[in-house]
Structure 1
Amino acid sequence: MKKNLLLLIFSFLAVQLYAQEYFPNNESVPNKTMNFTAFTNAKIYVTPTQIIEKGTLLVQNGKVIATGTNVTIPKNSTTIDLAGKSIYPSFIDMYTSFGIEKPKRNTDRTPLYDTKRIGYYWNESIRSEVNAYESFSYDQAKAEELLKAGFGVVGTHVVDGIARGSGTLIALNNFDKSSQLIADKVTNHFGFTKSVTTNQAYPSSLMGMMALLRQMYHDLDWYKKGNAANKDLSLEALTNNEKLVQIFASEDKLNSLRAAKIAKEFGLNYVLKGNGNEFERIQEIKKTNSKFIIPIDFPAAYDVADPNQADQMELKDLRFWNQAPTNLKVLSENGIVFALTTDKLKKMEDFRPNLLRAIKYGFDKTKALEALTTIPAALLGKSNEIGTLKTGSLANFVITSGEIFDEKTTLYENWVQGNKYVVADMTAKDIRGSYDLTINNEKFKWKIDGEVSAPKSEITTADSKKLKSKLSIANNWISTIVKPNDTTKTSFTRLIGYIENTQDLSGKAVLFNGSEVKWSAVKTAAFTKAVDSTKAEKNNKVMPITFPNVAYGNVKKPEAETLLFKNATVWTNEKEGILEETDVLIKNGKIASIGKNISDASATIVDAKGKHLTSGIIDEHSHIAISNGVNEGGHNSSAEVTIQDVVNSEDINIYRDLAGGVTISQLLHGSANPIGGRSAIVKWKWGASAEEMLYKDQPGFIKFALGENVKQANWGITNPTRFPQTRMGVEQVFTDYFQRAKEYDLAWKKYNSSGKKGKEKAPRVDLELQTLAEILNSERFISCHSYVQSEILMLMNVADKFNFKVNTFTHILEGYKVADKMKQHGVGASTFSDWWAYKFEVNDAIPFNGPIMHNAGIVVAYNSDDAEMSRRLNQEAAKAVKYGNVTEEEAWKFVTLNPAKLLHIDNKVGSVKVGKDADIVLWNTNPLSIYAKAEKTIIEGVVYYDSKKDEENRVAIAKERNELIGQLLQEKNKGMIMQQPKKTEKVEYHCDTMEE
């Protein structure tokens, strides 16, 4: 054994020199030696699962030389006896901005549409060339906070931009700066935030950021193949950093799913930095197969003592406070690999209490230790250096009084690369307990409690009067100041003594009159920690998670049913018209049968006598359920972005739409630019994921826009800078882009048909022009925001010039003026029933617009373009009867079959027909009545809204709110830190809404 140890030591000496040993040493005494330090008789956690009882840890030159129970200790060793104490690997935080100055925000508010940089990527939020180590400066004060919390190594990077550049790995070595840098480039960082240093207008939305990332990866691939004529330092850096650990700061459960989607598209492997709300979508999170970095920044309790303020709180926020401590447990139980981070903590002192709280809520202690040691080490590819106490690892470890995740445990020392940082005095003796105190023959009772290193004193006289006293201890010297009973005296009695043992204390006393006497104290009872019943930590009852985890969410995801509606008035929207007292059978998500006296033994019978059954309402133009921006207005064309990336499956407006009988909506980009983004056709499957809501195999659509919005006439900008600024400029934008798209498409067709793929330079993939080329090839349809007749005619002329058709004019409030031209072009109309005069370009709008276009043979739909109107589209349809004498059947088609036709999905939805999707609504009366209410809204055979269940939900929500408020009031009674209630302000998007 000894021979093997000597050989091991020799090999280390042969290959391992001091890091950067040429650094000048300006200290009076050299601080580096070749001696060993042996820590003996400790409980050593070599890894979270490899534990050695009464073991020895041998350290030299910042490295672990050996660990075990039979380690031979060399002669030139300093031995430290740690009997009764434990040694753990120091923690690792792989996601910080430690030592990095916060980037300064660009104060120039004038939007920039180009870049001022030369030799870098065209968008200034792509900052992949940034290297954290080049701007790193060791932060001694912050390092001490981390050391006290048990951390020995941190990964750090510049938190700015979408592609943020490389991160570095730093040892929290306060004593040897030459060893602090473990790896200069270890990680490569990305995120969904625009750089604060740029005033470039693009991207201005989340969907724009996702599109930019896609374009960046396409450009990277093209660049790596040698197709570019110029050098791009940003793409060069991306290439050089490809083998680094790729970390994506998603900062939200839904954004994690979005980042994972991009990773899958490009064959990437992101480590996702989450938010702490992953438990709310755990099954979708699990399906990503991603590894995570998770913060433990739990929300403070809300002060809801004021009922008026409590009423401002949304249930989802109250729930999140209640459920957040379970996140780590849920992640762990679902087999998700994750590391922990201190990121987002307001103060480092909250780290340990939050972690202990998570453990109390079921997070396994071994998993907790792994998340702080072996997992981050493995994710960083540094398992051979950090995260364990195996031979050859860095000597990064903490010494504790006991089990590290026990509330009573004290962290004494944190050693980093063999350098000791003292957190608490390990030699301090525990003098806590009850004593008989004698000062100059006068008897007292003395109680000492508090913490070992910060004890508290309570002295009582023989006649049971309490004296004020203050106790301090340092290097086993005890000092106590006692205030006299006589309040007129300003002098104090001072007790001083050295602790020989903890049973009998003694020393010198200096009385208030200055005379010196002896004092002694004999322990009469051992210390017992008092349990404050008001602060006894009892877990709050955790509320069940719903899908989504907001008010009116489903405790269990609803499933398809076999339903038989008996004796309904059925609005078929087919040649059969309206059928009285008719049965409809729904089976396997489809309409299985329509007729009289239908029976099915497996079906749930619904008595629909006196009620009306219709197909679900389809809203052709909506902006609800979109995350972080309905407009990407940074450029005059944003054809590369798609709403499908940013569907917000948790928007309460989805539930409200279902309550109004809406089953399908087209979510459109706004009207900030002539060529907007691609749309998303969704089925409102409340509780499902965004991906599950997307209409399967949906036809491609894109939003175009005309009028005031796109030329920035009503933006409130004093000096608008973006082209176009006139209506004729808008026409030129269309002509220019379609000409470019035509040339782009021809270039690719030529390349693909040349037979020389891989032998000649390929055209650059341009997502914007690729999308526009799809329009030219009849693979994508245009829905165009429009008002004025001259512009309506203009776009049809542009379409004729490039040989494509405009699919839908939406709004189209002057459509009645050009209905004949629209019919000739073959375009449909999606309009408002009776909106007018809300801005200058709609002054000529009339409520007869829809019926006039309908009578001209145009497919006409009524849309909402508004979160409030979308749940009353049945009443909007009724206005076609009022203003245009349209029959009730035809008016109902304005919000069902006709929008289905405009969206090219009428083969599956829009009418009650055997074989079509079972997207239906049961109304209590004629759906065109102002008294009509949806009793059941069904999508593909699944009941997503039920009016009776809605009533039950309201009662349950009130009960849950009261229970959560009760828990919060108890927290306040315990003296916990509280925060003021906050009302969540939700932005309802409209066509012209721009993100701040």
Structure 2
Amino acid sequence: MKKVILSVLAVAALSLQSRAQETFPRNGVYDERSGLRAFTNATIYVDHQTKLENATLVIKDGKVVAVGTKVNVPQGALVTDLKGKTVYPGFVDPFSNYGLPAVSSNRGGWGSPPQAESKKEGAYNWNQSIRPETNAVEIFKVDQKAADELRKLGYGAVVTVHQDGIARGTAALVSLANKRENQVILLDRAAGALSLDKGSSTQEYPNSLMGSIALLRQTYLDAQWNQKNPDKEQNLSLKAFAQANQLPQIFEVSNKLNAVRADKVGDEFGHQYIFKGIGDEYQMLPEIKKTNAPFILTLNFPDAYNVEDPYETRRLNLDDLKHWEMAPANPALLAKEGVTIAFTTADLREKNKFLTNLRKAVQYGLSEQEALKALTTTPAKLVKAEKQVGALREGMQANFIVTSGGLFDNTTLILENWVQGEGYKVSETPGDYRGVYTLKIANQPERRMIVSGTPAKPELKVVAQDTIKGSLTFHDDIVTFAFAPIKGGKESIRLTGWKTDKGFQGEAQLTDAQMVKWNAQLSEAATQQARKDSARAKAPVDLALGQMIYPFAAYGKTELPKAETVLIKNATVWTNEKEGKLENADVLIKNGKIAQVGKNLSANGAKVIDGTGKHVTPGIIDEHSHIALDGVNEGTQAVTAEVRMADVVNHEHVNIYRQLAGGVTTSQLLHGSANPIGGQSALIKLRWGKAPEQLMFEGADGFIKFALGENVKHSNRSPQYNVRFPQTRMGVEQVMVDAFQRAKEYEKTWADYNKLSKSKKAKAAAPRPDLELEALVEILNDKRFITCHSYVQSEINMMIKVAEQMGFKVNTFTHILEGYKVADKMREHGAGGSTFSDWWAYKMEVKDAIPYNAAIMHNVGVTTAINSDDAEMARRLNQEAAKAMKYGGVSEEDALKMVTLNPAKLLHIDNRVGSLKAGKDADVVIWNEHPLSIYARPEKTFVDGAVYFDLEADKALQEAQEKERLRLVQKMLAAKARGEKTQPAPSGRRFGQQVLHCEDVENSTEESLFESEYHQK
């Protein structure tokens, strides 16, 4: 029955044995044939931009010998005619874990005590997540099943990375041939590998994103120091890290923000990273472009959401909806801006979607040439392997694919994949069997059989009393049909046969085991109609994209606000200056600054706002906030002065916008209160829509968070955490003293070294740079200032005593609910107080809190502010200030200063903000009525003279966003109607953004999940 066909690849198997590796003996005869082959009459892409018609490719010993249109076929070569076929260079995946062991998660459970030190034995780094001594080539093993899966997608070589830890060691470039490991390794050390994920490390530090960044920065410094001082310490990890730094650096990140963050580390230490992203890069395109980094892009485009249930649909964020629409355009948008891109199969849960999504990227604007470049030339160049793979030139690896047509045509199939001169069959050449047939099975009645669809994906229907769908498969010239039982029958029908000149014929076994013959005769007239039917266009895919919004989140705007010349007339103006509160006064804003404050002002070309009946105040300043952060605590070690909140600012957090709606214009983003000495603060202006770097308050002094009380001695944590020093309030004092004593010694060591002459310096060992101690030295030298989380009288006294003993000053005691007990000592020390108005009873150490606290500190002469420490409270800080009037009899102007000028003084920015004075920043709020009223609402909030919140514009913005949501919902419904796969709306903690507080402790460096066990307020 079956025709015997000897395929091209079967012949190849007899002649393509590449030369044996000389160092490996063989049990049997030696076959030293060269595998000389010539592929003729093909369309050949030598590289992404060089296309040859009717060309010839000659290979030998697994390498390319010649390629061109005038190549002479060598004598003795096995010739394969590829007329009508296309040859492309084999794809190169620059980020894979092919052939490497899976990364195991050995993290301890909730009941496990924290692990402070590394468990890795030997002269290796102190932290398990720093593992640069790992070389992928040493643990690589050929995986024929995985190789076959990748070859089906067109890949011939991959960069394989052991994706474990922050410093991951070196990656290897390997081919996907089914050979020995020593035969497929093309580059043993192709690249260094990095990430911000601690991986399988069981050590507690770092447990935050900012901790990972700090650890990486310190590792660079340690490696540099170790190189200069090899006699000081034998550290195999640091030596390996320094060596890996000489290679291209592939840095895996979990989102576009982390790419921008990591790039700053690279810039600091002189490294240009290659980023492996996740496909959201277009959302920060200007910042991504500024990195000058190549990006390895995933083609893991999200499925449409199932939006049929309107209630479930409301749970979807606008950015989720927009990302579904825009993700396929990510490669095109980056390429258009000149960003170097390469493609990877990483992150694809269904690898068979790779080619489909690749073609989708082209459909969404990526040129075919750029797409092919991203598959071949670019990934090869990224690891400096462009002379081995990524093109078809003399001497290069014979890695290429044979396709049935143009790669980016949806009907094209990859037929063969040749790797190092060995061929692997991927699929058969599709014949065009579409048509209408008369099907006859033995003596059964004739039936009508229709083959439609496309040659690559034919569809089968059999018409008896009803139309029955079936399936058909082809293997060489052998065909198999299968369809459901005909009405009245019990068994499915399966037919096997072969192609004839007039259709198909073969034999079938009926349900009674009888062997019968069958045939299907083609009707020529009906064939034309079948092809017309199958060629009918499906519902067109809507390729139009919605507008970009800044930031890429709810309440993002299509355009960022700009500073204007604005004249606010006839308002009640709260100056916070000696002029006090002015009635029927004007404020002129120009060039982002306050130009004038007074009466009867005028300005040519100014936009005039009628302030009649309204109140104008400086923008509110929150001295203690945790909004807009991807993590708040590096809650592992007692002293973490090396971490920086500026490293984890997230400009897309909606609380920036919400607090603008409450009149807030500046916030100090503090580390949490998990440690006696926490991390360095970030001071931001709420410039909604701008990137994190553009939120920073330019030229401001540096601050750092200290903490006292229950949190730092782990009163609020599980018993297994009773191992970390300190566990008592006495221990907290000792930690402070010890830290500053070490800082003083560190400073002296550097001072002594810097006094040496140039010749003596050359002979002496430089001290080891220590990011933690450098931050503390800055405090000693009045270059960084302390905000200290505090509650009880005894500890405030202790902190003042330690500061005076060690020679520094506490700038601000924050929280300080017992400040009224020690206000005189605070004034004498020179410390300010930033407190809650009436927030208490949430833990034991606040039991003595009273609502008169702010007023008492103020009356004693302490610079007093009222802070939020809470995203919701920050929207109503004007009301919190008003409570000082109610409980303490503070004047209305002094009460307003507690959330404007006084926090500006505490933060050393009162020369810029906090009052309405000519020359200061135009951070201004227009209120609908008295700003200390519970009915007051900001109508406009200016930052640097630009309107970042407008009450009327907000209504229009919400309406526009609702229309955009509805448009995207309709587009998703259309996608489902076309048969596209959908996914449910996210649920649980995956939905929405974090709202962080002082006590929140992350348990994952990149995911920034937080433990609700410690979410106390």
Report TM bin, short chain: over 0.9
Q: 1:23 maps to what in 2?
A: 24
What secondary structure sits across from 2:327 in the alignment? Answer: helix
Match for 2:726: what amino acid?
P
Worse-superposed segment, 87-96 or 504-513: 504-513
Correspondence list, 1:541-690, <5 A: 541-627=544-630, 629-690=631-692
Q: How far 1:868 sits from its partner (Å)?
A: 0.5
> 1:143, 1:172 within 8 Å by CA — same for their partners in 2?
yes
8 Å contact from structure 2 (residues 166, 194) kept in 1: yes
C-alpha separation in 1, matches of 2:473 and 2:277: 44
8 Å contact 1:38–1:80 — kept in the other structure? yes
Go from structure 1 to structure 2 and tell me whether the alpha carbon gap of 1:580 and 1:517 turns closer, same or farther (over 3 Å shift): closer
Aligned position for 2:63: 63
Q: How does 1:593-992 map to 2 (within 5 A)?
A: 593-627=596-630, 629-718=631-720, 720-756=722-758, 757-983=761-987, 984-992=991-999
| Corresponding residue to 1:994 among 971, 986, 1001 | 1001
Distance 1:809 1:451, change over 3 A: same
8 A contact 1:454–1:473 mirrored in 2: no
SS at match of 1:354: helix
Q: Alpha-carbon deviation of 1:366?
A: 1.0
Given that 1:302 and 1:978 are in contact with CA atoms closer than 8 Å, whether structure 2 keeps it comes out as yes
How far apart are residue 435 of structure 1 and its match? 4.2
Shift of 1:731: 0.4
> TM-score w.r.t. structure 2 length?
0.92
Distance 1:879 1:484 in 2: 80
Q: Does 1:115 align with 2:118?
A: yes
Q: Which amino acid aligns with 2:965?
A: R
The Cα offsets for residues 9-66 of structure 1, whole Å up to 9 and x where unpaired, read as: xxxxxxx994733334457x86652242111111000011100011001111111111
TM score, norm. by length of structure 1:
0.94
Partner in structure 2 of residue 10 of structure 1? none
Distance 1:701 1:780 in 2: 5
Cα distance change, pair 31–90 in 1 and its aligned pair in 2 (3 A): farther
1:69-108 to 2 correspondences below 5 Å: 69-108=69-108
Q: 1:130 to 1:571 in 2, by over 3 A?
A: same
Report Cα offsets for 1:680-725 as digits up to 9, x if no partner: 1100000001000001111011100000000001113345110000
Kindly report which structure 2 residues correspond to 1:210-249, keeping only aligned pairs within 5 A, or say none.
Answer: 210-226=213-229, 229-249=232-252
Residues in 1 aligned to 2:204 and 2:490: alpha-carbon distance in whole angstroms: 73
Distance 1:562 1:483, change over 3 A: closer
Matched, 1:345 2:354: no
Aligned position for 1:278: 281
Local SS of the residue matching 2:126: coil
In the TM superposition, what is the alpha-carbon distance from 1:765 to its structure 2 partner? 0.4
CA gap 1:857/1:353 in 2 versus in 1, 3 angstroms: same
* Alignment counterpart, residue 398 of structure 1, candidates 393, 397, 401: 401
CA distance in 1, matches of 2:345, 2:68: 32
8 Å CA contact 2:35–2:62 kept in 1: the answer is no
> Partner amino acid for 1:72?
N
The aligned residue for residue 373 of structure 2 is 370
Q: Distance in 2 between matches of 1:490 and 1:846?
A: 83
Task: Give the partner amino acid of 2:187.
Answer: A
Letter aligned with residue 912 of structure 2: K
Q: How far is the alpha carbon of 1:121 from its aligned partner?
A: 1.2
Q: Measured at CA, do residues 370 and 497 of structure 1 come closer, stay the same or move farther in structure 2, by a change above 3 Å?
A: closer
- Confirm or deny: 8 A CA contact 2:507 2:516 kept in the other structure: no
Counterpart Cα distance in 2 of 1:107 and 1:960 = 43
Q: Is the 8 A contact 2:142 2:178 kept in 1?
A: no
For residue 422 of structure 1, the aligned residue among 416, 422, 425 is: 425
Please state whether the residue corresponding to 2:190 is helix, strand or coil.
Answer: strand
Amino acid at match of 1:314: N
Give, in whole Å, the separation in 1 of the partners of 2:404 and 2:377.
Answer: 22
Deviation at 1:425?
A: 2.1
Provide the secondary structure at the position in 2 that maps to 1:346.
coil
Superposition map of 1:136-285 within 5 A: 136-175=140-179, 177-196=181-200, 198-226=201-229, 229-285=232-288
Which residue in the other structure is 1:5 paired with?
Answer: none
The residue type paired with residue 172 of structure 2 is: T
Once residues 547 and 688 of structure 2 are traced to their aligned partners in structure 1, the CA distance between those partners, rounded to angstroms, is: 17
Residue 46 of structure 1 aligns to a residue in which SS? strand
Label 1:614 to 1:321 Cα distance change in 2 as closer, same or farther (>3 A): same
Q: d(CA) in 2 for partners of 1:282 and 1:491?
A: 55
1:514-571 CA distances to partner (integer Å, 9 max, x unpaired)?
A: 6768875464435627458795341254221100011111101111111111111110
The change in CA–CA distance for 1:491 and 1:102 in structure 2 (over 3 A counts) is closer
Partner Cα distance (1:843, 1:712) in 2: 19
Instruction: After TM superposition, give the deviation of residue 760 of structure 1 in Å.
Output: 1.4
Question: Are 2:50 and 1:50 aligned?
Answer: yes
Give 1:960 deviation, angstroms: 1.5
Find the residue that maps to 2:224 and give its secondary structure: helix
CA 1:365/1:32 → structure 2, altered by over 3 Å: closer, same or farther? farther
**Conservation of the 8 A alpha-carbon contact between 2:397 and 2:420:** yes
What is the Cα deviation at residue 862 of structure 1?
A: 0.1
Name which of structure 1's ranges 80-89 and 351-360 shifts more when overlaid on structure 2: 351-360
Does the CA-based 8 Å contact 1:509-1:519 persist in structure 2? Answer: no
The alpha-carbon deviation at position 448 of structure 1 amounts to 2.9
Are 2:452 and 2:533, in contact at CA under 8 Å, matched by a contact in 1? no
More moved, 597-606 vs 843-852: 597-606
Contact in 1 for aligned 2:64/2:397 (Cα 8 Å): yes
Query: What secondary structure is seen at the aligned counterpart in 1 of 2:705?
Result: strand
CA deviations on 1:439-464 (whole Å, 9 max, x unpaired) are: 88986654333564775544557xx8
Is the 2:714–2:721 contact (alpha carbons within 8 Å) kept by the matching residues of 1?
no
Deviation, 1:625, is: 0.4
Q: 1:478 to 1:867 in 2, by over 3 A?
A: closer
1:235 and 1:311 map into 2 onto residues whose CA distance is 51
Bigger mean CA offset, 159-168 vs 482-491: 482-491
Deviations 1:375-419 (A, max 9, x none): 000101010110001111111111011100110111100110111
Distance 1:608 1:533 in 2: 64
> In structure 1, the residue corresponding to 2:875 is in which secondary structure?
helix
Matched AA of 1:729:
G
Q: Which residue of 2 aligns with 1:7?
A: none
Superimposed CA distance per residue, residues 281-326 of structure 1 (whole angstroms, 9 cap, x where no aligned partner): 1011111111111111111111122222111111111111121111
User: How far is 1:475 from its partner?
Assistant: 2.9
CA contact (8 A) 2:226 2:233 kept: no
Equivalent position amino acid for 1:336 in 2: V
* Aligned CA distance change for structure 1 residues 805 and 177 (closer, same or farther; 3 Å): closer
Unpaired runs of 5+ residues, structure 2, are 1-16, 1004-1017
Contact 2:113–2:720, Cα closer than 8 Å, also in 1: no
- Does structure 2 conserve the Cα–Cα contact (< 8 Å) formed by 1:439 and 1:520? no
RMSD: 2.4
Output the CA distance in 2 between the equivalents of 1:614 and 1:26: 89
The residue type equivalent to 1:665 in the other structure is: S
2:539 equivalent in structure 1: 536
CA contact (8 A) 1:227 1:762 kept: no
Partner of 1:4: none
Q: 2:41, 2:81 within 8 Å by CA — same for their partners in 1?
A: yes
Q: Name the aligned partner's letter for residue 45 of structure 2.
A: Y
Offset of residue 332 of structure 1: 0.7
Q: Give 1:465 deviation, angstroms.
A: 7.2
